[in-house]
Amino acid sequence: MSFGLSRGKTLDTTGFGLDQSDLPPFENGRVDPRDFFDHPEYRLEIEIGSGKGTFLVKQAPLHIDVNYLGIEKTAEFYRYAADRMRRRSLDNVRILRADANEFIQFWCADTVAAVVHLYFSDPWPKKRHHKRRVIHDRSLQEFHRILVPAGEIRLVTDHSELWAWYEDHADRNAHLFERRNFDRPESADEGEIVGTNFERKYRREGRPFYAMTLVKLRDAGPEAL
């Protein structure tokens, strides 16, 4: 499927884009995504489903001592976002083309990320497609594993049924995460929750928004899972 994002321009991902197919076979052991950056010692935040990369373009320049990894599974959005980061020389951003749940489950090392951002994730409304949603009990266990102590998952959606799904998952995983209010990032403009492309589109349509933060409670032993 083509979204026509490049408008005839060549999109250049050099230095800013990585592809799942370039990762070592996962049988070789886990990968530390902090090593994708010039300063691996900086705090890492991951955005799942970064789309055109608008959140990263606005947030990353405000925190040049934080590394931001956008994970985007659609090749055209990945290329568009990585090219956008390159043109703006956002050296603290990398875009990985991958299914985020696969990357996190099979490749990502433990205790590496301070935040997982998930904004306007695809709701997959049909029951038979629910398995494609990003949030599941299994993925929450994996996010718990890759988060640092007191690390956070930040969730925003416009979709009431996906929101109910998030609430059920938060309740069921209350032994892993404490639910808190969502604090808007500094990069959000007046009246915005985050300021992503989909938020702007849905705001024009007058849709309601729902948001929560889940804070990692502790390192879970097998008995907690």
Ligand X SMILES: C[S@@+](CC[C@H](N)C(=O)[O-])C[C@H]1O[C@@H](n2cnc3c(N)ncnc32)[C@H](O)[C@@H]1O
Contact residues for ligand X, defined by CB under 6 A: 48-51, 71-74, 77, 99-101, 119-122, 134, 196-199
In the complex, what is the shortest distance from the CB of residue 70 to ligand X, in angstroms, rounded to a whole number? Answer: 9
Residue nearest to ligand X (CB): 49
Closer Cβ to ligand X, 45 or 199, answer by number: 199
Beta-carbon contacts of 108 under 8 Å, excluding residues fewer than 6 positions away, are: 30, 31, 33, 142, 146
In the complex, what is the shortest distance from the CB of residue 163 to ligand X, in angstroms, rounded to a whole number? Answer: 14
In the complex, what is the shortest distance from the CB of residue 221 to ligand X, in angstroms, rounded to a whole number? Answer: 27
3-state DSSP helix/strand/coil % of the chain, to nearest 5: 35, 25, 40
- Pairing of β 177-180 and β 210-216: antiparallel
Task: Tell me whether residue 32 is one of the annotated catalytic residues.
Answer: no
Closer Cβ to ligand X, 13 or 121, answer by number: 121
Tokens standing for 22?
Answer: 């370039």
What DSSP string describes 29-92?
Answer: --B-GGGGSS-TTSEEEEEES-TT-HHHHHHGGG-TTEEEEEEE-SHHHHHHHHHHHHHTT-TT
* Catalytic residue selected from 19, 91, 99, 122: 122
In the complex, what is the shortest distance from the CB of residue 78 to ligand X, in angstroms, rounded to a whole number? Answer: 8
Catalytic site positions: 122
